[in-house]
Amino acid sequence: MGYIKTIVRYQAILLLILIAASGFLSISCNNSVMHSESIHLKNNEWKASDTLFYSFNTKDSLSLYDFYFEIRNTTDYDMQNLYLFITAYYPGDTYSRDTAECILAAPDGKWYGKGMGKHKDNRFLFRKGVRFRKPGNYIIAVNQAMRKNLLNGISDVGILIKKQEN
């Protein structure tokens, strides 16, 4: 009986080591992500006057990064696309403005993205090869730019900034 307990104990230790190693590998494989942040919209509603702010700090002024928007919508969203107004505030009190279109559904109404049931997740490449020319704090402000004051069916809006792979 003592022999069986020892084998079970060794199997439990081995299992813990494997879990820890796989956790370490998943973290180390994700080192290309410079910043990832998502904001949940209460009641899946986004007013035109509601600005979403994302802030991050960087010291790397040499590497190139790809900038993505991550949109989670529900099947209650009644449009095919989502326009965004983006204002980027740079260190040194400068800024730029841009517009992006995120296409969430095909013309026939079939939803793009991943997910089952009511929620769909999409990732959209906004800018490829971005270089942060000055070290410091960057702020990204995002507004919905649709012709409706209140959007129903947008539940989360996020940004993802990844170091470009060579």
What is the chain written as a DSSP string?
A: -HHHHHHHHHHHHHHHHHHHHHHHHHHHTTTTEEEEEEEEPGGGEEETT--EEEEEEE---SS-EEEEEEEEEETT--SSEEEEEEEEEETTTEEEEEEEEEE-B-TTSPBPSB-STTEEEEEEEEEEEE---S-EEEEEEEEE-SSSSEEESEEEEEEEEEEPP-
Encode pLDDT of 60-107 as tens digits.
999 999 999 999 999 999 999 999 999 999 999 999 999 999 999 999
Specify the number of domains making up the chain: 2
Which comes out higher in pLDDT, residue 15 or 66? Answer: 66
* pLDDT reported for residue 26: 43
15 plus 65 within the same structural domain: no
76 plus 155 within the same structural domain: yes
Range of the domain at 91: 34-163
71 plus 124 within the same structural domain: yes
56 plus 108 within the same structural domain: yes
Q: Which CATH number belongs to the domain containing residue 81 in this structure? A: 2.60.120
